[in-house]
Amino acid sequence: MYRKSTYWETAFRVVQVSWLRAVMGLKSESRGTRLGYLWWIVEPAMHLAVYYFAFGVLLEHGGDDYVAFLLIGIVHWLWLSKSIMNASSSILVSRGLILQLPLHTGIFPLAEIFRDLIKQIIVVVILMLILWLMGYDPTKYWLIYPVIFVLQVLLTLPLAGLVAALMPFVPDLRVIVPACLQLAMFLSGVFFSADLIPESFHWLLNLNPAYLLLEAYRDILIRQQPPEWALLGGLLVALCFFNIFVIALFGRFNRQYPRIVQE
């Protein structure tokens, strides 16, 4: 007799299938280019070179720590923005599978998030090595890094999931999302520290979760001090509710996607 799957069984299958899809996607991606896996390192390095030349050389912005400051900002911002962009159209791109198989649509954006997560782990190892070679010796605060990393995962999941969930209903998001990410990059402290902003506006920066995470990374990696735990604790609570909301959204829309993507 057929037994209806429980919520946790369904969630486990979604995660399992998403992970397998991510791994297969990475293998396919590496075979499609000459450099293969090296592109995971070359791409952030290219971004760093461009932004450092623009802000560190031409505009003479920053001080002695600016290269490390910029490197940390770019590496972690690229992870967030690429995950959102890659996940955003994942449901529409997978319309063939959605129409043929009774798959949970959360699989497709989650697979993209997993794929970028695997890449980021490798990039982070290289980042740590570069910082060490630049003279930033590992300290006890570096042990906090996994905590901040998990917080960024908890931010990436609902942001990427929300955009992916809404894209089939609002195709104009294909244009809106890149523009919003470009604006958010300049508002999230990728290129500047709070010292350049009037103190009366610091509360606005603290409302930006990306800014809080980038500053936390810099605190533990180059400033050798603990992050602002109170702010990160508030962020964790907010992200838990945000994740629950997006999961509920997928539960509500899951059966509608076959009809929507067919139109």
Is 126 inside any structural domain?
A: yes
Backbone angles phi, psi at 180, to 5 degrees: -65, -40
Closest C-alpha among 239, 230, 193 to residue 214: 193
pLDDT at position 147 is 96
| For the ranges 29-43, 66-80, 139-153, the one whose mean pLDDT is highest | 139-153
Domain annotation covers residue 222? yes
Give the pLDDT confidence of 63-94 residue by residue, as tens digits.
667 888 888 998 899 999 999 999 998 988 88
The gap between the terminal CA atoms of the chain, to the nearest Å, is 36
Give the per-residue pLDDT at 1.
Answer: 42
18 part of a folded domain? no
Beta-carbon-side half-sphere exposure of residue 138 (alpha carbons within 13 Å) = 9
How far apart CA 106 and CA 110 sit, in angstroms, is 6
pTM: 0.86
Arithmetic mean of pLDDT, 19-24: 87
| Residue-number span of the structural domain to which 199 is assigned | 34-262
Among all chains, which residue has been given the structure tokens 């990306």? 210
Whether residue 124 is contained in a domain is answered as yes
Domain membership flag for residue 153: yes
pLDDT range class, residue 203, cuts 50, 70, 90: confident
- The total domain count for the chain is 1
pLDDT value of residue 2:
43
Q: Report if residue 8 sits inside a domain.
A: no
Digit-coded pLDDT (tens) for 155-164: 999 999 999 9
With respect to residue 93, please indicate whether it lies within any of the assigned structural domains.
yes
- When mean pLDDT is compared across 87-96, 209-218, 219-228, the lowest value belongs to 87-96
Contact 261, 99 (CB under 8 A): yes
Q: Is residue 12 a part of any domain in this protein?
A: no
